[in-house]
Chains A and B, each alone.
Chain A
């Protein structure tokens, strides 16, 4: 049983593994095996982890430097929820025996709209911005763009993912990031 599962996992792993053979028998009513996943799930998690980590760094900076208390509080709430999500996502990748790091071959992701992360130069720009009202404006603007990236990524998972857990997480990401974007705009 275990062996067969491993084979199944192997079949599903990796970006663009060409398993096209089907039996021709309609099995659409078959419930999924618990814990199974597809390429999209793996890619979603592998891309979401660094995407989240960038957001964590941005919010960490804001907790220290934002002039307004409400901005610092929102930043902290976003950071701790994203840290939870990262822990969860790493756990799933480990359980599925998949590397945490995404496939860095850019062509592996061309069909998926790129990496959805924020340009490292932007992060550096925020790091170099000292505390003050200017920081608040930059942070709010940059995190808005960044969280849009998270929504895009999560919607790919909602459309093409297979794992019930990962899809549920994607649904929560779409909801919470959308609400965060509204909140960020209110402070802008």
Chain B
């Protein structure tokens, strides 16, 4: 091996090694939970009903100190959630609403609280138990009517933090204004050429082209971004 090659390798190792270290202390929030139904604001971001920033990747991570009354839990990078002018889909409901949570980590729980404005309309105590895998709270909204922004707070039992999630509701009587059309964004045109397209439902045996190669579908599925034929041999076989 030449000296030059050795040097290059040493230098590369020196460049790489610190990279490995830099990421280690970068603690990230770990997984948690949010209201999936009726669709909360972060659920709508995750589902691309509404176009949002980083909240779309981590709808379950709206974590802040207890006692706040804000949709983003005071987290600056989730400011989208506090923006009432965004085209949030409003769910029409009656007096009693079932709120269903999805969890990615089930923390020991002090309670769940539901607020309309500054009024607490419901509380569900868990006495520091873990919540069950999915959880639905029937909440009676009492005298509240019309368009409301409901805030749900999940207070963790063994930390000073809580999780925040807002749901836009039209309570009773008249139906809400029709939801504006979802952003026409979801599928930025793939740079690839061919007939394969996300959102298309393909039956087994269907034939597409992708970047000059022809593929046959091996099973029924709807094409999703990230499931391009060259990287999903279980779905597509080159022919």
Chain A residues close to B by CB (< 8 Å)? 1, 4-5, 8, 11-12, 15-23, 25, 27-28, 30, 32-33, 36, 38-40, 73-74, 76-77, 80-81, 83-84, 110-114, 116, 118-119, 121-122, 125-126, 138, 141-142, 144-146, 148-149, 151-152, 155-156, 159-160, 162, 171-183, 185, 188
Contacts and interface: CB of A to CB of B under 8 A. Distances in A.
Given A151-B57, A179-B198, A11 B17 contact: yes
Contacts of B10: 23
Contact of B20 (A28, A126, A156, A162): A162
A27 B15 contact: yes
Interface stretch (B112-120, B159-167, B229-237): B229-237
B61 to A, nearest CB: 8
Nearest to A121: B133
Interface of B: 1, 5-6, 8-31, 33, 36-37, 39, 43, 46-48, 56-60, 100, 102-106, 132-134, 186, 198, 219-222, 224-228, 231-235
23 contacts: A12-B17, A16-B21, A20-B18, A27-B15, A38-B19, A74-B221, A76-B221, A77-B221, A80-B235, A113-B29, A113-B31, A114-B30, A119-B133, A122-B133, A145-B33, A146-B104, A152-B28, A152-B30, A159-B26, A172-B226, A175-B225, A178-B56, A185-B47
Contact of A188 (B37, B46, B57, B105): B37
Contact of B234 (A16, A80, A155, A172): A80
Given A121-B133, A149-B31, A152-B28, A176 B226 contact: yes
Contact of A160 (B26, B39, B231): B26
A151 B58 contact: yes
Contact of A182 (B8, B19, B47, B103): B47
A19 to B, nearest CB: 4
Contacts of B37: 188
A5 to B, nearest CB: 8
Contacts of B232: 81, 84
A151 to B, nearest CB: 6
Contact of B16 (A32, A142, A173): A32
A30 B17 contact: no
A179 B224 contact: yes
A145 B60 contact: yes
A81 B235 contact: yes
A178 B46 contact: yes
Nearest to A36: B16
B14 A23 contact: yes
A17 B16 CA distance: 12
A8 B6 CA distance: 11
Q: Among B14, B100, B221, find the residue whose CB has the most chain A CB atoms closer than 10 A.
A: B14
A148 B31 contact: yes
Contact of A172 (B5, B219, B222, B231): B231
Contacts of A83: 234
